Amino acid sequence: SNLEKNLKKALKLGEFRLFYQPKLDLTLGKIIGVEALIRWQHEEKGLISPLDFIPIAEKTGLILPIGEWVLRTACKQNKDWQEAGFPPMVMAVNLSARQLYQANLIEMVARILKETGLSPQYLELEITESMMMEVEYVLEIVKKLKQIGVQISLDDFGTGYSSLYYLKEFPFDSMKIDKCFVRNCTEDIKDATIVKTIIAMAHELDIDVIAEGIESKGQLIFLQQNLCNKGQGYLFSKPVPSEEFIRTINEVE
C-alpha cells in the first residue's frame, strides 16, 4: 500500500523521531526513568502519531526494522545523557508483539546494548498482555531478556486479557496501571477501587507499580495516599524531544 511504501521511505530518510516522557518518584518528585515514544516527522503532514502508523508497521512487518531503530536510538540517547553527566535513568522502550516473536530478539537487544555501551540495567522493555498469544513462549523470551540484565514491565495493565497468571509466573520488574483507570480515579468509585487494588496487589507481589496518565494534582494526591510511588503523565510532562527533556530534568531536579 501507499502508507507501507511511505513507511519504508521514512525509515530510509530518517523521518522517525523519539519523544521522551519522564517517569517520576511520586514521593520525592524526582525523575527516575523515561519512556521513549516514537513519532513520524512527515515533511508535509507534520508530526504523525504512532497510533496512525504502528498498526500498519505491525501488519507489514516493518515494525521489525523500525523497532530496531527505536531500540538503538533510545539506548544511544540514554548513554549520551549519562556521559553528559545526568543522573542515570532507566530508559523504557515499547515492544510490539511482532518483535517479541521475532527469532533474533535476544541477540538484537544484546548487540544493541554492546554497540551503544549502555549497561543493561538502564534498559526496560514494556510489553502488554495482548502479546501473550503463546504464554509459555513469551515467558521463555522474557526470562532470557532478564538474563541479559534488562528490566521488563507489564504495560497497560488491566486492559488486555489480564490473567493474574502472568503476574504469578512472569518475572516482571514493574507493572503500569493503564491511564484509562487513572483518568477518573478521583471521581469514579469503581476506578478508584481498581487503582487501589492494583497498587496493593503489586506491593504484595513485590512488583514495582507505576501509574500512567496522571494529569491532575487530585490524581497525584489519590495515588500518593494509596502508596503508589511512581508515575508519569502530562501533569509532569508530555512526551517531548530530547532537548526539551533535558530542560525538564533540570527543572525537576
**22 forms part of the interface with ligand G (CB under 6 A):** no
If the CB atoms of residues 68 and 156 are measured against Mn ion, the closer one turns out to be: 156
Q: Which helix (H) or strand (E) holds 93?
A: strand 90-94
Collect all residues with Cβ–Cβ distance below 8 Å to 129 and sequence separation of at least 6.
154, 156, 157, 159, 160, 161, 162, 163, 166
Return the one option of Na ion, ligand G, Mn ion, none that residue 229 interacts with (CB less than 5 to 8 A, by type). none
The mark string for 81-110 relative to ligand G (x by CB under 6 A, - otherwise) is -------------x-x--------------
Piece in contact with Na ion (CB under 5 A), picked from 4-12, 129-137, 151-159, 222-230: 151-159
Binding of residue 208 to ligand G (CB under 6 A): no
- Which of Mn ion, Na ion, ligand G, none has residue 202 at its interface (CB below 5 to 8 Å by kind)? none
8 A C-beta contact, residue 83 and residue 113? no
Pairing, β 30-42 against β 151-157:
unpaired
Should residue 179 be labelled a site residue for ligand G when binding is judged by CB under 6 A?
yes
Residue 48 dihedral angles phi and psi, to the nearest 5°: -105, 135
- Residue 233 interacting with ligand G (CB under 6 A): yes
CB 98 within 8 A of CB 61: yes
Residue entry with cell 502472568: 166
Nearer to ligand G, 152 or 204 (CB): 152
Nearest Cα to 237, choosing from 50, 34, 46? 34
Length of the chain: 253
Q: By CB under 5 A, is residue 126 in contact with Mn ion?
A: yes
- Residue 155 sits in the site that holds Na ion (CB under 5 A): yes
Least distance between ligand G and beta carbon 43 (Å): 20
| Chosen residue from 10, 26, 32, 54 binding ligand G by CB under 6 A | 54
33 binds ligand G (CB under 6 A): no
* Partner from Na ion, Mn ion, ligand G, none contacting 38, C-beta within 5 to 8 A by type: ligand G
Q: 95-116: string of b/e by CB count within 10 Å (b at 16+)?
A: bbbbbbebeebeebbbebbeeb
Compute the distance between CA of residue 26 and CA of residue 80 in angstroms, rounded to an integer.
26
Given the complex with ligand G, which of 33 and 239 has the nearer CB atom? 239
Q: Is residue 124 a contact point for Mn ion (CB under 5 A)? A: no
Angle at 213 (CA atoms; ends 187, 64), nearest 5 degrees: 145
Q: Which one, 68 or 156, has the nearer CB to Na ion?
A: 156
Residues of the shown chain interacting with ligand G in the complex, contacts defined by CB under 6 A: 21, 37-38, 49-51, 54, 70, 94, 96, 155-156, 179, 212-215, 232-234, 239
Name the residues that contact Mn ion, by CB under 5 A.
94, 126, 155
